[in-house]
Amino acid sequence: MRAVIIAIGVAFLVSLFCTPIAIKVFTRLKAGQPIRSLGLASNQGKKGTPTMGGVVFILATVIAYVAGHLALTTLPDAQIAQVEPTITALVLLGLMVFSGAVGFIDDFLKVRKRHSGGLNKRGKLAGQILVGAIFGIVALYFPSSMTDASGAATNTETVGASTLSFIRDIPALDISKIGAVVIFIFVVMAATNGVNLTDGLDGLATGASVMVLAAYALIAFWQYRHWCADPAYTANPNNYCYTVRDPLEIALIAGAAAGACVGFLWWNTSPARIFMGDTGALGLGGLIAGMAMSTRTILLLPIIGGLFVIITMSVVIQIISFRTTGKRVFRMSPLQHHFELAGWSEVNIVVRFWIIAGIGVAIALGLFYSDFLAAMG
């Protein structure tokens, strides 16, 4: 727990104090977000606000991960605490960094062209598929073994599983490793685009991501405290345990990313002094997808990230309705802009949507804990 708290604190402080530096640097480089004239009240006065702020909290997460590992070396139970970096960390941080890199290219092209178009849809889609495929293969085909004090292997689980999962793996739904990689690519695409579509108002996607990442930190830490690789816990055969790969590592990274987003939110909340851009949105989406896979909660993700699902579906419904009937269901999509045109203030929309995000997280955590109680009962 101490290592997770240290990682959260370091990420928060790095993000909080480095974001103003990024604001000055990006402003000097004229890396302002191009704003389309859509008649939205929230767009007024935002032209020229620096973008690509996601670079800050991605770097803060990586730095905090290193700091958390330094703390792990002092733990008395270090033989089960993943002192050395693992494939789990490679997958999770790799998803965040490389998904963010796809977004960075998009942001860079927008700034360079002074146009909101950026990377074309095919290029962005190809990048998401490539990142999902590479890290999906690593997660499914390369087990990361741990050793105890005697040097014997204690856990050879892969980061992901070949079965679909809800609260835990569902053995009856074995889709093979190839099928699992394909599903994971879809999850990466859904999560990155979901966060990206939500990032339309100051602080909206950042705050929602904090809740989702905090939920995964709690889930992963709970799995660590009830881990099948912990001989002290499994000494009692009546104890229910989780067969996952490096849960403390997952909790550390999720906590660090949440802390980094909180530090960034200080500057990103209305009126935003910097935007996360596609760099941050795609980076967070990639990490969230990795969290769902590594904690074996793939099918729980739509509930934990309920706000992202609702906003994404508003876009899908709008497109289908317009193409089939020529009519729009919403005044504008994504959904947050519908309420803007209905007269809601930006702050009201953000706070109320945060409440929706919190409800989704609360329901998901309730399902997770109730499943544990049922398994123990």
Tokens of 230: 């912990």
Mean pLDDT value of segment 114-130: 86
113-116: which pairs have CB atoms within 8 A and are 24 or more residues apart? 113/34, 114/34, 115/34, 116/34, 116/35, 116/36
State residue 151's pLDDT score: 47
Q: Which long-range contacts (CB under 8 A, 24 or more apart) does 182-187 make?
A: 183/298, 184/132, 184/135, 184/136, 184/139, 184/140, 184/160, 184/289, 184/293, 185/128, 185/129, 185/132, 185/133, 185/136, 186/132, 187/132, 187/289, 187/292, 187/293, 187/298, 187/301
Residue pLDDT, tens place only, 239-253: 899 999 999 999 999
pLDDT for the residue 39 = 58
Distance between CA 204 and CA 206 in Å, rounded? 6
pTM: 0.93
Residue with tokens 């992901």: 160
Higher pLDDT, 205 or 82: 205
Of the given ranges (12-16, 36-40, 288-292, 356-360), which has the lowest mean pLDDT?
A: 36-40
Q: Which of the pair, 272 or 230, is modelled with greater confidence?
A: 272
Q: What's the average model confidence in pLDDT over 22-43?
A: 76
How does strand 169-174 pair with strand 163-165?
A: antiparallel
Q: What is the pLDDT of residues 183-194, one digit of tens each?
A: 999 999 999 999
Whether residue 235 has pLDDT greater than 50? yes
Task: Evaluate if residue 155 carries a pLDDT over 70.
Answer: no
Q: Is the pLDDT of residue 48 over 90?
A: no
- Position 159 scores a pLDDT of 94
Percent of the chain beyond pLDDT 70?
90
Residue of higher predicted confidence among 10 and 144: 10
Environment class of 170 (CB within 10 Å of its CB; exposed 0-12, middle 13-18, buried 19+): middle
Higher-pLDDT residue of 152, 173: 173
Q: How much is the pLDDT for 83? A: 59
Over residues 162-168, mean pLDDT: 94
**147, β-bridge pairs:** 153
Dihedrals phi, psi of 82, to nearest 5 degrees: 55, 55
Closest CA to 316 of 218, 193, 167, 154: 193
Secondary structure class of 4 (helix, strand, coil): helix
DSSP 110-138: HHHHTSS--S-HHHHHHHHHHHHHHHHHH
**Residues paired with residue 32 on neighbouring β-strands, in sequence order:** 50
Residues facing residue 169 across a β-bridge = 165
CB count within 10 Å of CB 243 equals 14
Q: What is the pLDDT of residues 64-77, one digit of tens each?
A: 999 988 877 665 54
